[in-house]
Chain A
Amino acid sequence: MATAYFKNQLRGYNVVLATLQAFSKDICRRCIGLSGAQTKVIKGLKKLRMDLDKSSILEDDKKEIMTHIHLCEKIANAIEVEEECECQKTAGKCKIGPGCFALGALELMKEIAEPALKAEEKEVSKMAKLICEACGAEEPVPVVH
């Protein structure tokens, strides 16, 4: 199940990255929207790598997924965004309306609804339990909100 989670996420990132690359050849290349989307993908992949590290899936599978993540990270870093970015709507170049292609491409990740990452939940509970033992509180998961 956990393997499926990572594979599905990477499937999503593959499409998102290809789409972002395409937009980077357009006016989005100078856009803070694309830059933000790129950052978000890089962070998402980094988180995925951390979750994979913590997961209990087979080592061979882990290695294969890790290679894929690494590849995606390389592609994400290679997306060409100009040093000086500004919102192209503000610059008067992007006139498609309030929508944003780069952020729209990121939305593709929301198509993935299954499976949930069980391993991560376990880890959080474990951490929370440790914290509670230290402070003596009865609640299982302390939440800051």
Chain B
Amino acid sequence: MLKIKPTSTYPPEKGCYLRGNDYSPVAVVVLLNAPYGSMPPEVQSIPKDIENLVKVAIETGAALSGTLQTENIGIEKIICNITANPNIRYLIVCGNEVEGHNTGTAIKALMENGIDERRTIIGSQAKTPYLFNIPLEAISRFREQLTLIDLIGETDPEVIIKGVWSCYQETPTPFREYRLYDPGAYPDSAISCSLTWKVKHPEEIEDWEIDEVLKNIEEPVGKLKSAEDMNVGRGVLTITKRLLKITEELSEIVRLCIEEIEGLEIPSEVEVKKEKAVIPEKVEPAVKPAAVIKEDAETEEELYFANQLRGFNGVLTAFEALDRDICHNGCTLPGAVINVQKRLKRLKEGIEKSSLSDGKRQKLKNRVDDFMERLEALPQDTSKPCQKAVGTCTIGSGCFATGALKLLKLITEPAPPKNL
């Protein structure tokens, strides 16, 4: 019997499930009937009876067993995890239907009818049965690879045990209306996919922007008058929407390639540029940026001072901005200014004691002096009342001045020289 090793990333998506025997032909989904719109199951306690069903399935020999609540992201995660392991040939769906989501019927409808061009599960009664975030190839593989064992409404562990057991028998074994046996792995390689990075990346188009983006696309169409023009317009609209989607998908590919090569997470440049293009007006900066500071520090010691000064520059600029606001009349900004003065003084002493060349020492000291001069212009009278107490600062318990100081904490490398 053919058995295939799952992908190295299997199971690619995290979730509320247990992993069992990778070569087992069956996965179990226990529907998690929680109030509609509640927190995801992984961050709240799962009812004991449902947890028991999940455990029982794994102990009986399932490859994966977990809970499912949502008809979109939840199903997408299952698709990613199952297509990454071609050995899984059966999906048992059990437990009580999820009220509001109708997830059980959604997964059934997916197996029976697939999705339409809008990536909506055909025939699903769920409210939001959209599979936007995974490749079409994975959806079609999922449907070909699996046979669904419909145990929706079933919560008896004994029935689940029998169902799982039947799936890995060598000869066809009757179980309810099914005749189950292990047919071996799906005769094609595993698919490695995961949900896109949209959630993590601010550059992505967000929900609240969709209407505006669509409006911008539709507006030119509204200007077309004749019926013929309208038909052309609709065509253009469809193509534009499709292109938008392709752009998103391409940027995902680019990103994955970069990650693959560099092993690092980098925000998608393509997406960033796309966002920039939305802003029509390009204005001159208020202050012309100086040439990029060249800091080719040769030693750890020199790098330490250079990094610190880099941080102080940001902090000081933030202070200067705050000084133009209500913080000017408060006590926290002066306190923070004095704090930075002390730190800079200590840094200057460190520079003086360092083993750097005279030229480098002088250059660094000059920069410290510049900063000191900028600090002198900022308020240092701590006897003033806190602006929260006066009622002028209404941002809550936070404080911009102390928040700006935290920028220095971002510098964790290299370690300070011994003499500091």
Binding site for B on A (CB under 8 A): 4, 8, 11-12, 14-15, 17-19, 21-27, 29-30, 32-33, 35-36, 39-40, 42-43, 46-47, 50, 73-75, 77-80, 85-87, 89-90, 93, 95-101, 104-105, 107-108, 110-115, 135, 137, 139, 141-145
Cα of A19 to Cα of B267 in the assembled complex, Å: 20
A80-B320 contact, Cβ under 8 Å, with A19-B314, A104-B406, A107-B406? no
Q: Is the CB of A112 within 8 A of B395?
A: yes
A-B contact count (CB 8 A): 193
User: Contact check: which of B283, B284, B320, B413 meets A96 at CB < 8 Å?
Assistant: B413
Say yes or no: is B218 at the interface (Cβ < 8 Å to chain A).
no
**B220 at interface, CB cutoff 8 A:** no
Give chain B's interface residues, CB within 8 Å of chain A: 36-37, 40, 70, 72-73, 100, 127-128, 130, 202-203, 206, 208-209, 212, 262, 264, 266-267, 269, 272, 275-276, 279, 281-287, 289-290, 292-293, 295, 297, 303, 307, 310-311, 313-314, 316-318, 320-322, 324-326, 394-400, 403-404, 406-407, 409-414
Q: Give bound CA distance, A45 to B122, whole Å.
A: 39
Q: Please classify the interface of chain A as helix (H, G, I), strand (E, B), loop, or mixed, using the class held by over half of its residues.
A: helix
A99 touches B412 (CB 8 A): yes
Once the chains bind, are B400 and A15 in contact (CB under 8 Å)? yes
The answer to whether B407 and A104 have CB atoms under 8 Å apart is yes
Q: Tell me the smallest distance from the CB of B8 to a CB of chain A, in Å.
A: 24
Query: How far is A26 from B312 in the complex, measured between Cα atoms in Å?
Result: 12
Contact between chains at B314 and A27 (CB < 8 Å): no
Given contacts A14-B321, A97-B410, contact A111 B314 (CB under 8 A): no
Q: Which residue of the partner chain B has the closest CB to A103?
A: B410
| Docked-complex contact A15 and B404, CB < 8 angstroms | yes
- Point out the residues of chain B lying under 8 angstroms from A101, CB to CB: 310-311, 314, 407, 410
Pairs A–B under 8 Å by Cβ, sample size 22:
A12-B400, A14-B324, A18-B318, A18-B320, A18-B321, A21-B286, A21-B289, A27-B293, A32-B266, A32-B267, A32-B269, A39-B202, A39-B276, A40-B203, A43-B202, A50-B212, A95-B297, A95-B413, A96-B413, A104-B407, A115-B394, A137-B100
Per CB-CB distance, the 6 closest pairs between chain A and chain B, nearest first, are A113-B396, A99-B410, A111-B398, A97-B412, A114-B396, A18-B321
